[in-house]
């Protein structure tokens, strides 16, 4: 079964078409990256999948059903810069927000939710920071807290918006191993990713996006120099040269 099915999705902001006739399917259990140049509509694709932006046409299905019905199966990590990190709250409290969806209206998180949130913090190596004010964290630590909040959602499919942008090496490795664990458990990870270098090492499924879907599929058959050139146009020669180098290495490794 596919974790995410997108059919003929078109999104436009006023006069600018952000996504055009996007067709996409990501099977369950994949670690998928959405890759494309700036302004390609990567974040918009996530937001459209989560029902956060209005669509002109098309449909989005999560495990075969519309998002509104499957909300409890979805975890979301927005871009770190989308919130005010001086907000008066603690690390644990932010992670507890991941349980709100399940709690529903008015009910408060209790013992069980606290334990769960602490366990999630432990998973990202942040258990010692539970009582810290969130503004006292480094960028990487903030990102790990956001990941822990998503873990607390206990979802089947996770949407992450550039989780590895501007974070330290430790955080990048932590995030990666958590995501790989999740995928191993059969959960689906869908990640907006900005770094062409690391993409082939981290993910096993890629979506190359530039307003339209240029290519989507398993890493080996999709992440090719030809597809990248189509995605980035002429503007990313350096990246593509670099990538060809990687392809050669891959060839050598095979030999």
Minimal distance, residue 249 CB to other proteins, in Å: 30
Residue 170 binds other proteins (CB under 8 A): no
Inter-residue contact 93 to 42 (CB < 8 Å): no
Minimal distance, residue 254 CB to other proteins, in Å: 33
Residue 198 binds other proteins (CB under 8 A): no
Q: What whole-number distance in Å separates Cα of residue 219 and Cα of residue 104?
A: 38
Would you give the binding string for other proteins spanning residues 41-60, x where CB under 8 A is met?
Answer: ---------xxx--xxxxx-
Q: Residue count at the site for other proteins (CB under 8 A)?
A: 49
Which CA distances in Å does 21 have to 107, 213, 232?
A: 41, 8, 18
Which CA distances in Å does 249 have to 183, 228, 252, 254, 255?
A: 26, 17, 5, 9, 10
* DSSP secondary structure letter of residue 214: E
Residue 157 binds other proteins (CB under 8 A): no
Crossing angle of helices 225-232 and 237-254, rounded to 10°: 170
Inter-residue contact 46 to 159 (CB < 8 Å): yes
Among 63, 100, 114, 180, binds other proteins (CB under 8 A): 100
Of 81-89, 174-182, 194-202, 241-249, which part binds other proteins (CB under 8 A)? 81-89
Residue 12 binds other proteins (CB under 8 A): yes
Q: Is 235 helix (H, G, I), strand (E, B) or coil?
A: helix
158: left (phi over 0), alpha (psi -120 to 50) or beta: beta
Of 96-104, 169-177, 200-208, 221-229, which part binds other proteins (CB under 8 A)? 96-104
Minimal distance, residue 120 CB to other proteins, in Å: 15
Residue 8 binds other proteins (CB under 8 A): yes
Residue with tokens 């975890």: 75
Minimal distance, residue 253 CB to other proteins, in Å: 33
Q: Which is nearer to other proteins, 186 or 233 (CB)?
A: 233
Inter-residue contact 156 to 63 (CB < 8 Å): yes
Query: What distance, in Å, lies between the first and last C-alpha atoms of the chain?
Result: 35
Among 25, 97, 127, 236, binds other proteins (CB under 8 A): 97
Query: Where does this chain bind other proteins (CB under 8 A)?
Result: 7-8, 10, 12, 14-15, 17, 20-21, 23, 50-52, 55-59, 68, 71, 74, 76, 78, 82-84, 87-90, 93-94, 97, 100-101, 103, 105-109, 133, 135, 149, 153, 210-212, 233
């Amino acid at each position: 079964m596919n974790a995410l099915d997108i059919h003929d999705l078109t999104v436009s902001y006023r006069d600018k078409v952000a996504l055009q006739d996007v067709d996409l399917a990501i099977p369950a259990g994949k670690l998928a990256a959405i890759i494309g140049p700036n302004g390609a509509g990567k974040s918009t694709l996530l937001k459209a999948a989560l029902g956060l932006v209005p669509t002109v046409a098309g449909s989005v299905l999560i495990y075969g059903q519309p998002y509104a019905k499957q909300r409890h199966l979805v975890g979301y990590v927005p871009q770190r810069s989308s919130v005010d990190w001086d907000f008066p709250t603690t690390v644990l409290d932010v992670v507890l927000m991941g349980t709100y969806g399940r709690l529903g209206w008015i009910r408060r998180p209790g013992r069980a939710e606290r334990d769960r949130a602490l366990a999630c913090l432990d998973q990202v190596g942040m258990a010692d920071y539970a009582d810290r004010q969130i503004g006292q964290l480094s960028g990487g630590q903030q990102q790990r807290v956001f990941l822990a909040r998503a873990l607390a959602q206990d979802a089947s499919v996770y949407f992450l918006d550039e989780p590895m942008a501007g974070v330290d090496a430790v955080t990048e490795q932590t995030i990666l191993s958590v995501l790989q664990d999740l995928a191993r458990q059969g959960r689906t990870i869908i990640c907006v990713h900005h770094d062409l270098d690391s993409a082939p090492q981290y993910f096993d499924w890629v979506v190359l996006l530039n307003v339209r879907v240029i290519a989507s599929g398993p890493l080996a058959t999709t992440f090719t120099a030809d597809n990248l050139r189509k995605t980035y146009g002429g503007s990313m020669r350096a990246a593509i040269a670099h990538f060809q180098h990687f392809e050669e290495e891959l060839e050598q490794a095979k030999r």
